[in-house]
Chains A and B, each alone.
Chain A
Amino acid sequence: MLKNNTQGYGLISILIHWISAIAVFTMFGLGLWLEELSYYDEMYRVVPHWHKSIGILLALLVLFRIIWMFSHPAPKPLGSPALAKIAKAGHGILYLILIVLFISGYLISTADGHSIDVFDWFSVPGFGSFVENQEDIAGEIHELLAFGIIGLAVLHALAALKHHFLDRDNTLSRMIKPVRNSDDN
């Protein structure tokens, strides 16, 4: 139930997947919102704090997810092997963009050496600037990739829907409910 098997995903992979999905879209919304806030808005100081806090937590979750993924391989892909290769590359790019988003976001806020507070639970130390005008360069990358990951996530969702409605296979349903494996005990 908790771990993946050859047929489907376990509860841990499923939960991490959906928490990540919700977090990515929430982060995108918060990111757009904090850009628009005016100085006297009562949310002016809150939204960036949420965005940074959730971002750090999501980074930790994704780090755990990558470790988990290597120790608990995903079930066999369904459908054509050629498309499965493209899907695998797509998943790789999703992880890559996420990692660069975490790093660039971190580099914006810590360019002055200040730490990042994660809610009021703990803080992540800052190490200052490694390049000149780091907060601007990191900011450009962060914004560009934010749109990139949303675009890719939409493609990812469309691909899942294609599996579900056109191919009529289990790709989407096994990411919703753990599958009992006939090979397993």
Chain B
Amino acid sequence: MKKVLSALLFSALLSPMAQAADYKIDVKGTHAFINFKISHLGYSWLTGRFNEFDGSFSFDEKNPNAAQISLDINPSSVDTNHSERDKHIRSKDFLHVNKFPDAGFESTRITHEGDNKYKVIGDLTMHGVTKQVIIDAYKVGEGKDPWGGYRAGFSGTTKIKMEDFGIKNVLGPASAEIEFQLHIEGIRQ
């Protein structure tokens, strides 16, 4: 009897750790942003964002290594506040969205790096190419929101080379890399 009780107690204590909480990314309330920046000629930064995406993550502070995140991004929703440039980015010179309408990120492993820092290793798909990238992330905060829900938010950055994703760099050597900046807030389900 004692054995059964302790086993029950043990599993009750363990189970919330074993399965991390699931969060849906708050795209409806637009508390999530996928931004990017790229050098213009080496003289300044050009920033843009993807307006349409969706995704979810699981995260539990007690078991951070079990965390997971997946994002679906609509590449044709690219927005750099200049319609002629956005049209060019969607064309075959860059994202070629007619041929490659799907983009996204799927984590394969998340490691806790101490404090609020995490390394999110996963597959980034863009321009029909899937490649491993590492996102340096940190937890911004988590807790109850004023409307009866529970939220957690993360920020992360990663740099990719356009040519690694099969996009010929026509913009010059200073613009070979794109830095993605993700700001993700999720609502616990």
Query: In whole angstroms, how far apart are the Cα atoms of A158 and B172 in the complex?
Result: 46
Give 1 or 0 for each of B72-101: 1 = CB within 8 Å of chain A CB.
000010000111101100100000000000
Do A136 and B90 touch across chains, with their CB atoms under 8 A apart?
yes
What is the CB-to-nearest-CB distance from B46 to chain A, in angstroms, rounded to a whole number? Answer: 12
Residues of B within 8 A of A129 (CB): 83
Give 1 or 0 for each of A20-49: 1 = CB within 8 Å of chain B CB.
000000000000000000111000000010
* Residue A170 CB within 8 A of the other chain: no
What is the CB-to-nearest-CB distance from B163 to chain A, in angstroms, rounded to a whole number? Answer: 15
Do A139 and B87 touch across chains, with their CB atoms under 8 A apart?
yes
* Residue B171 CB within 8 A of the other chain: yes
What is the CB-to-nearest-CB distance from B48 to chain A, in angstroms, rounded to a whole number? Answer: 12
What is the CB-to-nearest-CB distance from A108 to chain B, in angstroms, rounded to a whole number? Answer: 7
Do A111 and B83 touch across chains, with their CB atoms under 8 A apart?
yes
Partner of B170 from the list A39, A133, A134, A135 (CB cut-off 8 Å) is: A39
Interface size class of B (residues with CB under 8 A): 10 to 19
What is the CB-to-nearest-CB distance from A37 to chain B, in angstroms, rounded to a whole number? Answer: 10
Total count of chain A residues near the partner, CB < 8 A = 16
Do A134 and B83 touch across chains, with their CB atoms under 8 A apart?
yes
Query: In whole angstroms, how far apart are the Cα atoms of A123 and B87 in the complex?
Result: 22
Query: In whole angstroms, how far apart are the Cα atoms of A133 and B169 in the complex?
Result: 24
Given A112-B82, A114-B82, 16 more A-B residue pairs with CB atoms under 8 Å apart are A39-B170, A39-B171, A39-B172, A108-B83, A108-B84, A108-B87, A109-B83, A109-B84, A111-B83, A112-B81, A112-B83, A114-B83, A134-B83, A135-B83, A136-B76, A136-B90
Q: What is B's interface to A at a CB cutoff of 8 Å?
A: 76, 81-84, 86-87, 90, 170-172
Which 9 pairs of residues, A with B, have the shortest CB-CB distance?
A: A111-B83, A112-B83, A135-B83, A135-B87, A39-B170, A39-B171, A112-B82, A139-B87, A136-B87
Q: What is A's interface to B at a CB cutoff of 8 Å?
A: 38-40, 48, 108-112, 114, 129, 133-136, 139
